[in-house]
């Protein structure tokens, strides 16, 4: 999205409809680095859309009508030409990242077939994987993450969604991870606790928001997953699982086979999560002004295996700040319904 820096502080008016039967609301639409933020006139967040997933409902017509994804029920009507141009530019960037556009293929061809042959023979698989992780653009990462999420969804079902719950998730992401890209989704099942996907999306099992009295535990798991992703990029984990040939295919076409992504999704939800390095995790708790102790006891009720987190809790002497307001936490606990 770096080509769209001219729109970084762009805002416009819009009409937002959270559900088909709901009344449309006058809102303020803010164009971010990788998202559209929708808020009311008082600045309260109402919804948060990933630009990589935004769909145009009425191509070529004015005012423009958008949805956060092809399956979503929310709608956003925009008349401001500059905002429409910004959103359409993002959609064009995403379209160009698809295999039929093949900008990565052109880069490799410019380097010559000899360079590709040398790279395939001489480079270690780890070096080629690291190079690929560095050069793959954000829209491609988001697309790969979306495909892995779709594969996980065949087991977990659709993510839990309610208008109030979505707003609470957006505020939780902002509270814990801003300005990092991505978002949060709650699943009914199919994953152990949390899973991070390429593009920044973090999936949470519903138990993390339903089985605890405060949001501190869920927040701790989110920070732990973000720390795990910082130690090893989710795209790197995907490519290590996919292998050398698939990594080269991603470099040359900008895509991976559906079968490769399906196999990775199965392995991802079945495998035990990688250990989280303690020092970076404690740094995240300190930065978020969040106590590590509730998370530590949720991981191990005895506290034996997580004693370093408890003893070095940066908020042990006080100073922790609330994760969410009570109304948002109640909305989040009910996001999956009955």
Could you tell me the CATH number of the domain that includes residue 88?
2.30.29.30
Same-domain check for residues 148 and 289: yes
Residue with tokens 């795990």: 228
- Arithmetic mean of pLDDT, 161-178: 93
- Arithmetic mean of pLDDT, 22-50: 85
Q: Is residue 118 part of a domain?
A: no
Same-domain check for residues 174 and 317: yes
Q: What percent of the chain has pLDDT over 90?
A: 51
Q: What is the pLDDT of residue 290?
A: 97
Cα distances from 320 to residues 193, 222, 288, 315, in angstroms, run 24, 17, 8, 6
> Which of 77, 96, 115 represents a domain boundary (last residue)?
96
Q: What is the pLDDT of residue 311?
A: 95
- DSSP annotation of 23 reads P
pTM: 0.67
Same-domain check for residues 65 and 144: no
Give the whole-angstrom CA distance, residue 207 versus residue 192: 9
Q: Is residue 68 part of a domain?
A: yes
Using 50, 70 and 90 to split pLDDT, how confident is the model at 124? low
Give the whole-angstrom CA distance, residue 313 versus residue 267: 33
In this predicted model, which residue has the larger pLDDT, 65 or 53?
Answer: 65
Q: How far is residue 48 CA from its own chain's centroid?
A: 11
Give the whole-angstrom CA distance, residue 109 versus residue 67: 37
Q: Is residue 308 part of a domain?
A: yes
- DSSP annotation of 2 reads G
Give the whole-angstrom CA distance, residue 12 versus residue 173: 23
Same-domain check for residues 231 and 301: yes
Give the whole-angstrom CA distance, residue 41 versus residue 31: 16
> Which of 40, 74, 96 represents a domain boundary (last residue)?
96
Beta bridge partners of 26: 15
Using 50, 70 and 90 to split pLDDT, how confident is the model at 34? confident
Q: Is residue 147 part of a domain?
A: yes
Q: Is residue 120 part of a domain?
A: no
Domain extent, residue 22, equals 2-96
Q: How far is residue 40 CA from its own chain's centroid?
A: 23
Q: Is residue 209 part of a domain?
A: yes
């Amino acid at each position: 999205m770096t080509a769209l820096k001219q729109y970084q502080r762009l805002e416009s008016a819009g009409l937002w409809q959270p559900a088909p039967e709901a009344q449309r609301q006058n809102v303020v639409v803010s164009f971010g680095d990788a998202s559209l933020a929708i808020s009311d006139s008082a600045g309260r967040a109402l919804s948060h859309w990933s630009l990589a997933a935004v769909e145009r409902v009425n191509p070529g017509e004015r005012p423009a009508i958008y949805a956060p994804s092809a399956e979503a029920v929310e709608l956003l009507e925009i008349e401001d030409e500059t905002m429409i141009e910004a959103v359409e530019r993002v959609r064009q960037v995403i379209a160009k990242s698809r295999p039929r556009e093949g900008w990565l293929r052109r880069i490799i061809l410019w380097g010559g077939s000899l360079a590709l042959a040398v790279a395939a023979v001489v480079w270690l698989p780890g070096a080629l994987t690291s190079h690929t992780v560095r050069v793959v653009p954000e829209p491609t990462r988001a697309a790969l993450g979306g495909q892995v999420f779709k594969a996980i969804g065949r087991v977990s079902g659709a993510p839990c969604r309610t208008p109030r719950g979505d707003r609470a998730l957006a505020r939780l992401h902002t509270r814990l991870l801003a300005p990092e890209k991505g978002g949060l989704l709650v699943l009914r099942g199919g994953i152990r606790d949390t899973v991070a996907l390429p593009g920044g999306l973090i999936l949470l099992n519903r138990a993390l928001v339903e089985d605890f009295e405060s949001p501190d535990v869920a927040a701790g798991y989110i920070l732990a997953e973000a720390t795990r992703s910082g130690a090893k990029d989710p795209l790197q984990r995907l490519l290590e699982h996919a292998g050398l040939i698939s990594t080269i295919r991603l470099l040359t076409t900008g895509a991976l086979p559906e079968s490769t992504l399906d196999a990775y999704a199965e392995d991802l939800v079945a495998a035990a999560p990688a250990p989280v390095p303690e020092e970076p995790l404690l740094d995240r708790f300190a930065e978020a002004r969040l106590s590590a102790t509730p998370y530590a006891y949720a991981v191990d009720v005895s506290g034996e295996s997580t004693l370093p987190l408890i003893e070095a809790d940066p908020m042990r002497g006080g100073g922790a700040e609330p994760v969410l307001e009570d109304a948002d936490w109640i909305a989040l606990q009910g996001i999956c319904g009955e």
